[in-house]
């Protein structure tokens, strides 16, 4: 079987050791790092994502696959930097100012990392200013915000307003989520996307990047 296909299959099985070993072999055989990433690791994660979306596998399976992906990614990273290849997307993530409920946000972070995105997790109770400053400093593509309370979710508008005020709203996109939120609320505050769960967040982030 093709080595890259084997990487993809092992990743789908969550076999961290095998992915590590196969990636090492691929590098040794001078397969370009970008090709190992796209046709091995990300190809496997895409299948995992689809199986998760269609309820064939559950979150733990996705996370095992993500862990296996990192076993390969850790070896590829220096090569990708050397070849000047950027991650497929960079996301600044946090719960909005005043909100300390971060379980959902953490899950989104785990799933995004698993899908190959670089995630900068700012943690809980993050101010609009910190979100925007970090996104600028890190050249992030997207800001992701979450809230569990109807009172704190209103603070999300501060981020979208700030981006607009600095004319950054087309280069830094926003995605929001959390139990009390909805697509309508996202539209109302001028966010670019709303995700109803972690798997959906991955899909929506991908779409945002495609449309950028």
Among 3, 27, 31, 63, interactor with another protein by CB under 8 A: 63
67 touches another protein (CB under 8 A): yes
Q: How far is the CB of 2 from another protein (least distance, A)?
A: 28
Identify residues 106-135 at the interface with another protein (CB under 8 A): 106-107, 110
C-alpha to C-alpha distance for 82 and 102, rounded to whole angstroms:
35
Nearer to another protein, 4 or 175 (CB): 175
Nearer to another protein, 158 or 206 (CB): 206
Residue 128, helix vs strand vs coil = helix
Q: Specify whether the CB–CB gap between 174 and 192 falls below 8 A.
A: yes
By CB neighbour count within 10 A (0-12 exposed, 13-18 middle, 19+ buried), where does 65 fall?
A: buried
59 touches another protein (CB under 8 A): yes
Identify residues 153-182 at the interface with another protein (CB under 8 A): 179, 182
Could you tell me the two tokens for 179? 């139990």
64 touches another protein (CB under 8 A): yes
Nearer to another protein, 30 or 60 (CB): 60
20 touches another protein (CB under 8 A): no
Could you tell me the two tokens for 70? 């990192």
Phi-psi bin for 190: left (phi > 0), alpha (psi -120 to 50), beta?
A: left
Helix axes 43-53, 59-82, angle to 10 degrees: 160
Interface positions with another protein (CB under 8 A): 55, 58-60, 63-64, 67, 106-107, 110, 179, 182-183, 194, 196-197, 200
């Amino acid at each position: 079987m093709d080595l890259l296909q084997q990487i993809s299959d092992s990743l789908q099985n969550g076999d961290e050791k095998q992915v590590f070993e196969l990636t090492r072999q691929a590098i040794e055989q001078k397969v370009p790092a970008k090709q190992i990433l796209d046709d091995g690791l990300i190809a496997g994660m895409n299948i995992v994502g689809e199986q998760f979306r269609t309820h064939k596998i559950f979150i733990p399976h996705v996370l095992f696959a993500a862990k296996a992906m990192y076993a390969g990614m850790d070896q590829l990273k220096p090569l990708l930097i050397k070849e000047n290849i950027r991650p497929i997307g960079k996301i600044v993530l946090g719960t909005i100012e005043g909100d300390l409920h971060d379980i959902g946000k953490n899950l989104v972070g785990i799933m995004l990392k698993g899908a190959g995105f670089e995630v900068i997790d700012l943690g809980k109770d993050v101010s609009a200013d910190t979100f925007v400053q970090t996104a600028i400093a890190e050249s992030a593509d997207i800001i992701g915000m979450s809230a569990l309370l109807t009172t704190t979710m209103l603070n999300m508008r501060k981020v979208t307003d700030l981006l607009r005020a600095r004319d950054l709203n087309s280069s830094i996109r926003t995605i929001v989520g959390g139990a009390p939120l909805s697509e309508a609320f996202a539209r109302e505050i001028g966010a670019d996307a709303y995700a109803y769960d972690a798997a959906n967040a991955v899909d929506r982030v991908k779409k945002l990047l495609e449309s950028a």
